[in-house]
Structure 1
Amino acid sequence: MQRIPNETKLFIFDIDGTLHVDGVLVSGALELLQRLRQENFQIRFMTNTTTKSQQMLLDQLNGLGIEANTDEILSAPEASRIFLKQEQQSSGRPLKIWAVVNDHIRADFDAFEHSSERPDFVVIGDIGKDWSIDLLNQIFSCLNRGAKLIALHKNKFWQTRQGLKVDIGLFIAGLEYVSSQSALIMGKPNITFFKQVLASAHCDASEAVLIGDDIDSDVGGAQRLDIFSVLVKTGKYRSEYHAESKIQPDLVIDSVADLAQYLA
């Protein structure tokens, strides 16, 4: 039976679809996390969620009974803020950005000048039902005037209690097509995002294990750095999609609770 590598020091968990599905805790997830902490493994929570601030994510985990602190949570909006801060420092001038994001994370970009006419960067996250053809055309105009496109992630879909729903990847792919530019992806599967997680725990890729429900963003991103990857059959997992994918996880389990039996 396949085992988690003996040299493992860090477990990186996707949140939505892996630890909970639309706010409902996956059975056995809490017990697994408690065991890992008792055995002195480091834990990080890595998410492409773009509708919650760091504090909201922490409150959500704590509300589910999951022990965590803000230093253990790395989100796509936070990765974007770090990137833009570095860009601003290297340019030597204030950056102008247009943050097309959820109101809950808008304050994350307060350190930059705002412009929806001639921004240096257009940052796109999940804005739910606020998408419109007029908004897309306004973004398109900015890109045509030289703005660079930043996507907090490019997920195709996400899991809700009502089934799969399209995610912002639909809009990102369309904007890339009409503007003839490739978006800078901040969240998974961007390897820079994974490197930030590893650095926060002072671990090498060979010492980490990634657990997620998205074979593209979670597993695909982890494997770019040779991080041992575990795919769970919860959340957005679909057997047909898995069977057709060229990405092969190191381990496939029914749910995160089953990880315990694969520990060395």
Structure 2
Amino acid sequence: RIKASGLKLRFCTNETQATREQFVRKLQGFGFDISVDEVTAPAPAACRVLRERGLRPHLLVHDDLIPEFAGIDTTNPNCVVLGDAADNFTYANLNEAFRVLIGLENPVLISLGRGRYYKETDGLKLDVGAYMKALEYACDVQAEVVGKPAKRFFESALAELGVQPQEAVMVGDDIENDVGGAQRCGMRAVQVRTGKYR
């Protein structure tokens, strides 16, 4: 109905366990009329940062997200990109990311989000923010968050829509990452009582 009304629509997701293509297929399976170019996601935002700054990441992300980083040089890493790696969040993998960061003169930690947890069918699960905080503490570094609630993320979505913050409304289930992030960017926001809402 939103599309039929002529209003512009953007799907802003912190999904980091799947590519945008996989995310779109999932939503299409639920009956949504959506295409990849209507999705703002953290991985492409991270790729822009990596290219702009000539960074070569050590990737600690979900296996299904790796295709989003195609064309990014990962040899001799000079930063770490952290996403919701799910089962890849092992001690060995976290320690490898720690070693990359601690071995750098100017460590750079880029996090695709900072969420505390998310809801799956079998219950709540730790999100990337918990692991980000562990690496921040161990390496005495502050992560650069490129997903929600980062202002840059919302500014990117607004630019893609071609609208100003006061012309947009964010609808989401996460009071901090969706609602708070949008409001700090100057947007209005509505929290729904589904999904993460508690």
The TM-score bracket by the shorter chain reads over 0.9
Cα separation, 2, equivalents of 1:225 and 1:41: 20
What does residue 177 of structure 1 align with?
A: 137
**How many equivalent residue pairs?**
196
What does residue 124 of structure 1 align with?
A: 82
Give the Å deviation of 1:157: 0.4
Cα separation, 2, equivalents of 1:104 and 1:138: 20
Q: Out of 111, 120, 138, which is 1:151 matched to?
A: 111
Cα separation, 1, equivalents of 2:98 and 2:59: 14
Residue 166 in 1 paired to residue 126 in 2? yes
What does residue 51 of structure 2 align with?
A: 85
Equivalent residue of 2:125, what SS? strand
Cα separation, 1, equivalents of 2:150 and 2:61: 19
Given that 1:96 and 1:121 are in contact with CA atoms closer than 8 Å, whether structure 2 keeps it comes out as: yes
Identical amino acids, percent of aligned pairs: 33
Residues 76-108 of structure 1: CA distance to partner in whole angstroms, max 9, x if unpaired?
Answer: 1111112212222xxxxxx42111112222122
Given that 1:99 and 1:109 are in contact with CA atoms closer than 8 Å, whether structure 2 keeps it comes out as: no
What does residue 57 of structure 1 align with?
A: 23
Unaligned runs of 5+ in 1: 1-33, 89-94, 239-264
Higher strand fraction (1 or 2): 1
Q: Out of 171, 190, 212, which is 2:172 matched to?
A: 212
Cα separation, 2, equivalents of 1:96 and 1:113: 5
Cα separation, 2, equivalents of 1:168 and 1:69: 26
Cα separation, 1, equivalents of 2:92 and 2:30: 39
Q: Out of 109, 114, 119, which is 2:74 matched to?
A: 114
TM-score, normalised via structure 2 length: 0.94
Cα separation, 2, equivalents of 1:201 and 1:208: 9
Matched residue type, 2:92: D
Equivalent residue of 1:99, what SS? strand
Using CA pairs below 8 Å that are at least 6 residues apart, which structure has the higher relative contact order? 1
Cα separation, 2, equivalents of 1:113 and 1:73: 24
Cα separation, 1, equivalents of 2:56 and 2:97: 14
Residue 193 in 1 paired to residue 159 in 2? no
Give the Å deviation of 1:163: 2.1
Query: Greater Rg, structure 1 or structure 2?
Result: 1
Unaligned runs of 5+ in 2: none
Residues 209-235 of structure 1: CA distance to partner in whole angstroms, max 9, x if unpaired?
Answer: 000000010011001112001011111
